[in-house]
Amino acid sequence: MTEQQRPQPTEKQRLELVRMITRAREQHGVESIPSWSDHHPWWITKFQDEIRPGRGHDMDATVTTGDHFVQITLDPYGSGTLSVAALDWIHSDADDDCDCNECERMNR
């Protein structure tokens, strides 16, 4: 799919994305959330099929920062929801101090 074939957010969705990312940062402490970009490697954005052709697509944008998971859903008119979750890491191979059961067994 070429860049011109890919769905793009409407202007109202773009404005609301900026507002919701600011809310996530300022109201919910997600300081490391990057600005939205369809090309940013942390953002996963899905566009639904258009219900009314030519008006835009519903979108679902998600990002994980390491400490938080953020989901923003928007209809073509910019109405939607912001959801923020705090992550509780259970295991990480990259963490030398990981104290999960698997790591405890392996480090005995």
Q: What is the pLDDT of residues 13-67, one digit of tens each?
A: 999 999 999 999 999 999 999 988 777 778 888 999 877 788 889 999 999 988 9
CA-based nearest residue to 36, from 20, 49, 47, 23: 20
Residue spans of the domains in the chain: they are 11-106
User: Can you give the pLDDT at residue 55?
Assistant: 84
Question: pLDDT value at position 2?
Answer: 52
- Backbone φ and ψ for 17, nearest 5 degrees, come out as -60, -45
